[in-house]
């Protein structure tokens, strides 16, 4: 049961990360939030690796680069989405990765997805439209970013499952360090705004919210990494979806959001196929 309990706590940590991110958007742009997330993570993971004497990895194995680069792309997409959408909506869309994992079994494993997989993709895409129709109509790019983030998360998780022999601290350190490099490049080439430097002197509670983003994200990442390393990926992933429930509670209590019927229907149309795809593959993953 230990991996699944770890994932439950990880889901709560990721929901807290989403809440901190959504609150921090009033003080700075999403690039600054994403950079704070990776900066805190690389410091904590480095200290933990030093304490546990975990050997760090750099060039090999090549799978860790797939995991880190795909994860970095996911960070950018997810934090953009969290700054533009309600927390529950953003986390629902970013957790579509089980569907993409099933689709990616074709190029990765040479196994053409069954008809049921394509039906699940169609149902989930319909759910995205139902749930996100108001944001799509207004031209909000948060929906597109969240769906893109779920795809890159699928690639990252496929790589993560193949890194069982590497300590979780080393994996998180490599991933966070790579994401800092990529985010720095994006920040320089595509500045957040004309007042990007002024955001570094933001008033309280802005800095506290950024610290909360980093701490919650690091805790969630470490818990997720250890859960996937020790438990059946399908079952761990199902438990990870509880972050959507935590996020809905945050939306209602902190932002007074009224959960509409079309939002609930859309969430079920997305989460339902994801759970089905994960559970039907559980025997193979144990």
Nearest C-alpha neighbor of 284 from the set 140, 141, 155, 101: 101
Distances (CA, A) of 50 to 38, 46, 80, 217, 251: 18, 6, 32, 20, 38
Structure tokens at 159: 């790589």
pLDDT at position 187, please? Answer: 76
Among 4-8, 122-126, 249-253, name the one with the lowest average pLDDT: 122-126
pLDDT tens per residue, range 160-208: 767 767 777 788 888 888 999 988 888 777 665 544 545 556 677 888 9
Average pLDDT, whole number, for the chain? Answer: 81
Confidence bin at 221 (pLDDT 50/70/90):
confident
Most confident residue range from 93-97, 98-102, 137-141, 184-188: 93-97
pLDDT tens per residue, range 29-52: 888 888 888 888 888 888 887 887
Confidence bin at 224 (pLDDT 50/70/90):
confident
Note whether 196 and 55 are within 8 A (CB).
no
With a cut of 60, say whether residue 285 has pLDDT above it. Answer: no
25/232: higher pLDDT = 25
pLDDT at position 96, please? Answer: 83
248/194: higher pLDDT = 248
Structure tokens at 27: 């003080």
Per DSSP, the chain holds a count of helices (H) and strands (E) of 13, 0
Most confident residue range from 61-65, 137-141, 187-191, 193-197: 61-65
Domain that holds residue 178: 2-285
Judged by DSSP in three states, 164 sits in: coil
With a cut of 80, say whether residue 143 has pLDDT above it. Answer: yes
Residue 186: left (phi > 0), alpha (psi -120 to 50), or beta? alpha
Distance CA 252, CA 250 (A): 5
Confidence bin at 216 (pLDDT 50/70/90):
very high
Question: For a pLDDT cut of 70, what percent of the chain falls above it?
Answer: 86
Query: What is the chain's alpha carbon radius of gyration, rounded to the nearest angstrom?
Result: 18
When divided into structural domains, the chain yields a total of 1
Distance CA 196, CA 136 (A): 28
Structure tokens at 138: 């207004």
pLDDT at position 11, please? Answer: 92
Give me the mean pLDDT over the 52-60 stretch.
77
CB neighbours (10 Å) of residue 249? Answer: 13
Question: For a pLDDT cut of 90, what percent of the chain falls above it?
Answer: 11
279/156: higher pLDDT = 156
Confidence bin at 21 (pLDDT 50/70/90):
very high
266/230: higher pLDDT = 266
């Amino acid at each position: 049961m230990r991996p699944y309990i770890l994932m439950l706590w990880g889901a709560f940590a990721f929901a807290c990360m989403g809440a901190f991110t959504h609150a921090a958007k009033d003080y700075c742009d999403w690039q600054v939030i994403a950079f704070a997330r990776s900066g805190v993570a690389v410091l904590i993971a480095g200290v933990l690796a030093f304490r546990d004497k975990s050997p760090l990895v750099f060039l090999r194995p090549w799978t860790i680069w797939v995991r880190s680069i795909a994860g970095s792309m996911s960070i950018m997409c997810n934090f953009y989405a969290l700054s533009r959408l309600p927390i529950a909506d953003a986390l629902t869309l970013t957790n579509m990765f089980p569907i993409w994992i099933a689709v990616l079994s074709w190029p990765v494993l040479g196994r053409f997805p069954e008809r049921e997989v394509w039906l699940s993709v169609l149902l989930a895409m319909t759910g995205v439209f139902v749930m996100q129709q108001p944001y799509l109509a207004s031209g909000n790019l948060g929906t597109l970013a969240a769906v893109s983030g779920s795809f890159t998360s699928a690639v990252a998780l496929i790589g993560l499952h193949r890194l069982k022999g590497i300590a979780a601290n080393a994996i998180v350190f490599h991933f966070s360090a790579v994401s800092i490099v990529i985010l720095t490049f994006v920040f320089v080439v595509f500045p957040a705004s004309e007042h990007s430097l002024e955001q570094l002197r933001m008033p309280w509670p802005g800095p506290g919210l950024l610290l909360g983003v980093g701490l919650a994200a690091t805790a969630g990442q470490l818990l997720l990494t250890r859960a996937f390393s020790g438990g059946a990926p399908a079952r761990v992933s199902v438990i990870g979806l509880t972050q959507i429930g935590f996020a809905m509670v945050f939306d209602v209590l902190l932002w007074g959001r009224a959960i509409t019927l079309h939002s609930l229907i859309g969430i079920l149309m997305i989460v339902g196929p994801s759970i089905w795809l994960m559970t039907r593959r559980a025997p193979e993953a144990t």
